[in-house]
Structure 1
Amino acid sequence: MKPFSSKYPLIQTIFSKVQCYGVVFVLIPGIFVFQLAVVFPNLVTILDASIPKQITHMCLASFCFINIVGNMVLSMLIDSSVKRPNKEGTYCDYCRMMRPAKSWHCRRCNVCILKRDHHCTFIARCIGLYNQRYFILFLGHVMVSMTYATYYNYYYVSAKFEDHSWIVSAFRIVNPLLRFIIPEPMGIKDMYVVYLFMNVGLIIWSGSLFFYHFRNVVMGVTAYEAKYPELMNSVNWKENLISVFGTKWYLAMVWPLADSPLPDYVKGE
């Protein structure tokens, strides 16, 4: 039996795009706006924060936002497909040309991808040689940013509802059957608790993916090669990191637009 995506490629493509653009233009900006428009002003009032602390928080929040959006957009826009036939490598029956080593054909993108890692439905793009850096850093910055946001959201919820009534909301969200025992109507604190849970969920999601893919980079393997432990090699971990994040990896870690070129041997030049 063929998978759903093979039977209905148009529906799969539309779903991927909606999911992708929903995250880029709704979820991430929504979290950023909520933090700065709701959480931040209330914490300033509750904690009587000084101007230097407010400026520091604004700078850190902006840094997280720029790196998340920047790395995600670049991972979507930068193309890692094979542009021209290669003299050596393997032959692709779909593209009808020779492709470099570690290049694989993606049936969703309908093209061969240089050093193909996997097809990410989340951003509707294959992750390969030129955009793997941005994809992994996107996950890493989401994990750090959500940890930072969760800390302040927890502080905000616990300070706003000092009677600890939000804990009851948390239990009712985890187990909806408790609503029959605790007939309190849903209120604003339920929304805040749901938002807090969403932060924790994003930490687990992004953290799991980040550590998995970063481990593969350190080991010098793609997601497909990670199935075979004998292909992993952590001895050359520095070269493995440079082969993904570039020669100026220390700049790439903190700024998505940093010029960090890949070594010539990685590009096959």
Structure 2
Amino acid sequence: MKDWDDAFANMAHVPGSGELPGRWAADAAAYRAGGVKVEADIAYGDAPRERLDIVWPDETPKGLAVFVHGGYWMRLSKSDWTHYAEGARARGWAVALPSYTLTPEARIAAITAQIGRALAVAADRVAGPIRLSGHSAGGHLVTRMICDDTPLPPDVLARIEHTLSISGLHDLRPLMHTAMNDTLQLDAAEAAAESAVLHLPAGEPRVTAWVGGGERPEFIRQARILATVWEGLDAHTACLVDGDHNHFTVIEGLRAPDSAITRMFVG
């Protein structure tokens, strides 16, 4: 049987990655202190982590860009990632970053519903088109927004121009065979229901699966399978394998307005 724990073990295969959470938090705090306009802790529900931040551009926003963080649905928060809004913000977009209740306190299906509510609240505050992005578990959550059972109101769904899933998880069934499932508590029914590749896309969305060429092979498979399956279901799909980036360096370009990944996100 395949070693599924190793297949998803990003930090174990990236030297020095144990220092990254502290670095993300410090960089995000320094960015918030640097003078950008951040509207923090906007409530989209009653739970303590049902909060989102919006990073505002200097001018009237071109639209709403969303970044949903990863952490295998069981760690990290919006406040660790504020600096990754800069590329889109500098290109004139308002950037929403939601937190969500973590497993095991919430099941993954409930987190999907939370992100739907967060997007509805953010969309009510920012006019214009919507671009979605998410990293790892966040990639799962944004692709779930454009499935046939989306939790989004129809008017919000209609505004989504593009969804960028970065190192996203689109087939959750293998996670049932990992030690992480002690926390995730996925069963066969939920794993299938929460796998975007087992859904029809909502309409004919434009979606890009972006993954680092130096990532674990399972993440490259997860990117390719979404693009391949949904291409056959009338979605406008692309899969881009980005150089030799690992699971963590692959998102660094979001900090720069002229990077390839930022241009794909909001260009």
Same fold, judged at TM 0.5 (above): no
Higher normalized helix content (fraction of residues) = 1
Q: TM-score, normalised by structure 2?
A: 0.27
User: Which structure: larger Rg?
Assistant: 1
Higher normalized strand content (fraction of residues) = 2
- Bigger RCO (CA 8 Å, 6+ sep): 2
Q: TM-score, normalised by structure 1?
A: 0.27
